Structure 1
Amino acid sequence: MKEEKSPNVTEKNEINTKSTEVEEVDVGFDDDEVELVVSDLDDTSENEVERSIPEEWKGKSEKEIALLFEIQDLKNKLETSEKEWFEKYARLQAEFDNFRKRSLKEKDDYIKFASSQLILKLLPILDSAELMLKNLEQELEPNEFKGIQMLFQELFGVLEKEGLTPIKAKGEKFDPFVHEILTIEYTDEYPEETIIEVFQRGYRFQDRILRPSKVKISKIKKEEEKKLDSEREE
């Protein structure tokens, strides 16, 4: 004997199926589509905030407002562009000033070097003239010697104006930066390392040593050295 299906059960299944179909139709958007709609809404709200109409523009037509927004955008772009160009100009100006200063310094250094090389070649002539004056002082009459001496002083004065100056030596304490030792004399008459004789005058040219003075300096013997000397003499 076959069992008959209950009409209540059939109706119940049909109702459940329909309700399921209705639920699927109600949720008819994909996740991506939902995100796109939300993002569009966000963009719209942002644009509305960004492009909010100023109070003084209210009452104008949409076309006028659109033109005013375009003018405002152009003005903002021009201000940004002007600032960028000004910064570029200031940077280029600073680079040019630095280049000009470097060029002037290099030119000045080159002139100093060229002048120093020329004067360095003239130093032997000055040495000869100075030695000649010492010899002529004993041979010539005072008036004759004075004329030659003035000529030498005039020549040296020209070089002095260019920056040539003699290095102090005799009576000074030895300085390894400006003096060169040729001989040493052991004596108690002078303090230790005093320059007691100058063999060749040294010169400065502006801020550099052109030639050191060649000198003789004093040395004080120690007691042990004195005893050894006395023993040798005996």
Structure 2
Amino acid sequence: MTKLSVNINKIATLRNSRGGNNPDLIKAALSCEHFGAEGITVHPRPDERHIRYQDVYELKAAITTEFNIEGNCQEHKFVDLVLANKPAQVTLVPDALGQLTSNHGWDTIKYQDYLKDVIPQFKDAGIRVSIFVDPDPKMVEAAATTGTDRVELYTEAYAHQYLHNKELAIAPYIEAAEVARQAGLGLNAGHDLDLHNLKYFADNIPGLLEVSIGHALISDALYSGLANTIQMYLRRLGNL
């Protein structure tokens, strides 16, 4: 079964736009769990433009499903935050400072030594590690030698191509997934997955363990409500 982890960054963005605590991030996370989400994802950035570092501590104390913290491990404050909270999973993303959203995976060949050095810090703390990668077999192969537990396939290219040619869009992801399987890596996916393209992706990627979805899911919830929207995403994954 593919788990649905709901990224709640956009709820924090809405809260921060007016100050105060409306909407309540913790209440939203607990509601996601109550409505069937199997995980909660956050992606704190150094400028705290959505998820604040204090949010991470409060979420860790409140939620009962898997907690996934995404971010750039080249930021020392991020590493300290993860080690202090010990989530079920940390997803390492090579974001640049001030970057609007994640737009590429790790070059696991170029940064091989660095990843081999940083990953044990998390694994020694009992935290599962996933590396954000493009659907490139070479990057997946190199990821397997870093000590990571999983890779998360960056799915923006799939989402953009899906409406034009879904078979062509999925092809590199099927290949990357097979390389991950042969290398013994767990497989996650995320970025721009939505109600239109999620089922086809999940149906065609064997061994998909988890998808992390935020922007599309929260946007859909504006029209359909959070409870109904989470149920719709779970149905796309075949979990209901």
Q: TM-score, length-normalised on structure 2?
A: 0.19
Q: TM-score when scaled to structure 1?
A: 0.19
More helix by proportion, 1 or 2?
1
Higher relative contact order (CA 8 A, sep 6+): 2
